[in-house]
Structures are given as structure tokens and as C-alpha cells.
Amino acid sequence: MRASDADRDAIAERLRDGYAEGRLTTEEFEERLEAAYASRTRGELVPLVRDLPQPGSDTALGAADGTQSAGASVQRWRDRYGATPTSRTGIAVMGGFVRKGSWIMPRLFRCFTLWGGGQIDLRQARFEDRDVEIKAFAIMGGIDIIVPHDAEVEVTGIGIMGGFEQGATGTGTAGAPRVTVSGLALWGGVDVRRKKPRKGERGEDRELSDGS
């Protein structure tokens, strides 16, 4: 039987619920959603939600709470996107740089340390865009990157006689930023960690100048 617009919308809603609950990865959600709207028959729609709870089941009722939580997460993050960045680089040569507090993270932030150290903390940051990237290069130095605990993170950097921490890679909650960290650690280290905001931490502007 041919699928109607209402059929496709119903499947899309179940996919959104599954994504909000964490039953689907971002890649799975996007692939299935695209397939749902491209489907011509009901038979093509059924496999897209076969491994998801049926509407009205106990697990589906739990999904309603998850959807509400996802909506709150989207709203919380929405106000932190679209700002104009005031800093796009961090350089430390036998010194240090710090970006923390309510600074503005650009779409692409490049940083470099040589016999020095840097810290990038995104927990209280605002963002130029939801999708951001940090290119980090540490040579005989270190860079410490702290991302929000609910962000989607992908770490692709490499370490040569050094370390490039990959443990923070993973999915995030609805509406949270998507952070990619790439680069190189040579006789140095780049540490990427998820952390919740410190209790009582204020969002003051604390954008410090580069060390040299």
C-alpha cells in the first residue's frame, strides 16, 4: 500500500523519540529519517522502526518523558548559538593560553603550544555555530580541552611519541553542540575530557590573552 504524508510523519516522530531516548545514534537517526521521507510504501516504513518501542507501550510512555527532556535540552542550548567570536586562535610558546568562562567559541579554533600549555573550557562558552572544531597542535607541550558533558564529541587527532586522548568521543543530547577535535601531539599531549559545570560556577567573561 502506498504511504501517505501522515504515515511518513508518524514514523518520523517515532524516530525522533528513539533518538531523544538514546536508542539511535545520530548517524542512524539521520539515515532512517531520510529513508522515511523517501519511502513510497508502508512496507518500506515498517523496518525503520521495527527495533523501537510501539506507541502506547510502557517503554513508549517513558519516551514521552525523554522527549520532554530533549525539548528542554534543545531550548537550553539554543540561546547559546549564533554569537560572534572574539578569538579564533590560541598560541603558547614557552608560556600559556586560556579560554574559559563565557567566551565565544568560533566554528574553527586553532591552537598551538611549543614548550607551553593551553586550556580550552567550553562548559560556559557560547558558540558561533552548533558544529564547531578545535585543531590542536602540541609540540613538547600540552593542551587541555574540556567539553560539556552532554555534547556530541568526535576526536580524530593523533599522537607521535605523545598522547591524543580519544576517550571523550561519543554522542550527546538533543540540541547540544557537536565538537570535533583534530590535530597532532608530538612529544606532548592533548587531553579531551567531558565535565559538568562546577557547582556555583558563574558565566563571567574570562577570555585571557595568549602567552608568549
What confidence tens digit (pLDDT) does each residue in 166-201 have?
A: 888 988 888 899 999 999 999 999 999 999 886 655
pLDDT band at 72 (very low <50, low <70, confident <90, very high): low
User: Taking CA 168 as the corner, what is the angle to CA 115 and CA 107, rounded to the nearest 5 degrees?
Assistant: 75
Bridge partners, residue 14, by sequence: none
Count the neighbouring beta carbons within 10 Å of the beta carbon of residue 62: 13
Across 2-11, 52-61, 102-111, which has the greatest mean pLDDT? 102-111
Quick: pLDDT tens for 14-60.
Answer: 888 887 777 888 888 889 999 999 999 888 998 998 888 776 554 44
Asked if residues 123 and 144 have their Cβ atoms less than 8 Å apart, the reply is no
pTM of the model: 0.63
Mean pLDDT of 134-157: 96
pLDDT band at 70 (very low <50, low <70, confident <90, very high): low
Of 172, 128, 129, 164, the closest CA to residue 147 belongs to 172
> Which pLDDT score is estimated for 146?
97
Q: Find all residues with CB under 8 Å of 62, minimum gap 6, and list them.
A: 21
Whether the pLDDT of residue 120 is over 90: the answer is: yes
Residue with cell 602567552: 211
